[in-house]
Copies of this chain bind each other. A is one copy, B any other.
Amino acid sequence: MKTKPLRVALLGFGTVGGSVARILVERPDLADRLHLTHIFNRGVSRKRADWVPSSVVWTDSIDELFASKPDAVVEVVGGLEPAGAWVRRALEQGSAVVTANKMLLAAHAPELLHLAATRGTQLRFEAAVAGGVPLIHGVREGLAGDRLLRVSGILNGTCNYILSRMAASDEAMAGVLADAQRLGYAEADPSADVDGHDAGAKLVVLAGIAFRRHLRLEDIPRQTIRTISAADFRYARRLGCTIRQIAMVETDGPDFHAFVGPALVLRGSHFGLNKGANNVVTIAGHYGGENSFSGAGAGGPATAVAVVSDLLSLTQRTHERGEEWPAGRIAPPPPRPYYLRFVVQDRPGILSSIAAALANQGINLDAVLQEPGYPKDALPFVITVEACEEPALRAALQDIARSDFHAEPPLALPMLVGDDPKG
């Protein structure tokens, strides 16, 4: 079947937008399916590139772009506004939208999907999660036959770079973070990465894909990685583990359990073995068991592959049914084992006091670890506890925090080390 090529307008000519244009220019085999007509950018005269064919219209007028009635609009501007207004305007006028904008989707996916469905057009976003890893196609189509139970992953390359380097070198967080900023892996303000906002937004998108439910980013418990110390990696190793920022959502039917933050994972698991800025995602299904996907989570060319793949998928499907994401409810997590790390001014009676507070909440100790070589006035030691309810653990930790022997606030990390959930 011979059809006319899709007329594509590009909103944004930064790293990703430039790479999208480059693929379209460098792959003449795509010319009968995709035809780049417009490139929009603020101050577009600065941006103009001589390798783009002269037939492409460069503009800094959003109205000119929309007046051309593109078949598909690629939004790689990022941020909530004005990107959100432009995506809505495109869908309103019946243009399909391909976006890499995880923040926009995390906040407004249900509304945008509904808008696309009512206008008989499509909203695609393979690039919004795990950059070039073809997760969405793999999960939404390749695993459509399964009943999915859990999606978990390393979705933030900056945190993984920091934590995997700390694991390898025993350096402190501050120095590694400063290096990551110098090398361009971390922003000047690293909050969105290290405090879990970025991974949380990606998790909202992933949960939508896997479960067709929208979880509110505000409802997803997020824990910073800033509190992780070199001592934590030493203790984690004693437990056959390492520490990674994990984003996870699982379901037991009506409710969803979600978490973003540092967790202990087995050193030999997919998560424990993942180094540097790579992303890895594991999907568990009732029938098919576990599948893992890994690859470059960011970068212009890898992300642009996802955008172009989405554009190509638009040329193949004219009768795809619209997708809706009704709200999903987040419930407290199921019982889990936890790693508890205390840093204390050492004196007799501390362990028995902590043990009593845990026992008061019905929480069983699993192991007590104390490595040599630390100063008496800031002595880190670790207690692991058997699977327990999180509210009981919080209550015990509040109780423990009232004591005056702490040199630092206690740290609690989930241990994702069982058969279920594992990495």
Contacts and interface: CB of A to CB of B under 8 A. Distances in A.
Contact of A296 (B138, B288, B305, B312): B288
Interface string A291-312: 1111110010110111111111
A166 B320 CA distance: 48
A105 B330 CA distance: 45
A135 to B, nearest CB: 7
B287 A305 contact: yes
A144 to B, nearest CB: 4
A316 interface: yes
Given A147-B27, A293-B138, A288 B312 contact: no
Contacts of A137: 134, 137-138, 141-142
Interface in A251-297: 268, 270, 273, 285, 287-296
Contacts of A306: 142, 145, 288
A46 interface: no
Copies of this protein in the complex? 2
Nearest to A310: B145
A122 B304 CA distance: 29
A287 B19 contact: yes
A365 to B, nearest CB: 32
B144 A312 contact: yes
Contacts of A136: 142
A287 B301 contact: yes
**Residue from the set A133, A288, A313, A316 with the largest chain B CB neighbour count within 10 Å:** A288
A126 interface: yes
Contacts of A132: 146, 287-289, 291
A141 B145 CA distance: 17
A310 B145 CA distance: 8
Contact of A301 (B288, B291, B302): B288
**Residue from the set A136, A145, A147, A299 with the largest chain B CB neighbour count within 10 Å:** A145
Those 6 A-B pairs whose CB atoms lie nearest each other, nearest first: A134-B142, A145-B308, A137-B142, A291-B295, A138-B138, A132-B288
Given A145-B311, A288-B302, 15 more contacts: A1-B319, A132-B146, A132-B289, A135-B138, A137-B141, A138-B142, A142-B309, A287-B302, A287-B304, A288-B306, A289-B302, A292-B293, A316-B317, A316-B319, A319-B319
